[in-house]
Amino acid sequence: MVGLKPSEVPPTTAVKFLGAGSAACFADLLTFPLDTAKVRLQIQGENPAAQRVQYRGVLGTILTMVRTEGLRSPYNGLVAGLHRQMSFASIRIGLYDSVKQFYTPTGADHASVATRLLAGCTTGAMAVTCAQPTDVVKIRFQASIRLGPESGRKYSGTMDAYRTIAREEGIRGLWKGTLPNITRNAIVNCAEMVTYDIIKEKLLDSHLLTDNFPCHFVSAFGAGFCATVVASPVDVVKTRYMNSPPGQYRSPLHCMLRMVAQEGPTAFYKGFMPSFLRLGAWNVMMFVTYEQLQRALMKVQMLRESPF
């Protein structure tokens, strides 16, 4: 490490873990209203309470929420969202390189696409297993509609939501929808991480861009678009199943079949535009911040280790 610049020193696993969680929280703070709009559009046509309010488009959904529920409504579930990112993103993004290296055969110059896909599936599944309760609570808050003071709220706060779900639905209620969420996040993680990894590698190897903001921006935008296209159907089923009251659906498969029967196959892409806007913006903000945080944290670590 002597004589190397912070940008040239490979970041440690701890730096990647902390940097990924922090960068994801920052991206969530800026893009959370888009995520809430996506959830409302995805459950429209399913939630009886939602029939009183019709949402049209991303901006229309956010404006309708603000008009009928108040300025804070697009940020319903933000605390649970930040809980989710600190546990979820830290694992699926922060451990991706380490798992990829573990799967890469000794002596190989580059990891194959299959190795990267396997690493993405592994860290995505690990992250969901650990962070599923935070996702359930986030979805419940985002999907809840409050039309005036008389409508009330089921949960008084984030911690109350964890306790209430565990009490009324059992501990299993906090892990409701784990299977579709593992499927969804394995797909998303592969699409995001592998696409970002490959685009960035090709840009650097071809010398089209250097390892700086434009390179990170292009790679992250491509990753966000790819992830939205392949994951949207699973995301809609996951959202509806996790938000459903006990007994409404027998399984994620039953949820999917009922959705197709009642609303047609286009229901799988409900909320696509806010999903893309959110994932595209989220990926750009997260990856750019993540790359800069890694360098900053490595610089701090080098200064601490320096004898001078």
- Contact present, 241 and 249 (Cβ < 8 Å): yes
The pLDDT, as a whole number, for residue 8 is 60
How close are the terminal C-alpha atoms of the chain, in Å? 15
Are 119 and 96 a contacting pair, CB within 8 Å? Answer: yes
Residue 219 has pLDDT above 90, yes or no: yes
Residues, the chain, total?
308
pLDDT of 2-57, one tens digit each?
Answer: 334 555 667 889 999 999 999 999 999 999 998 888 888 877 776 555 456 677 88
Instruction: Tell me: pLDDT of 147 over 80.
Output: no
Q: In 3-state terms, what secondary structure has residue 153?
A: coil
Residue 194 DSSP class: I
- The average pLDDT across 75-104 equals 92
* Mean pLDDT confidence for 59-68: 89
Sketch the domain layout of the chain as residue ranges: 77-176
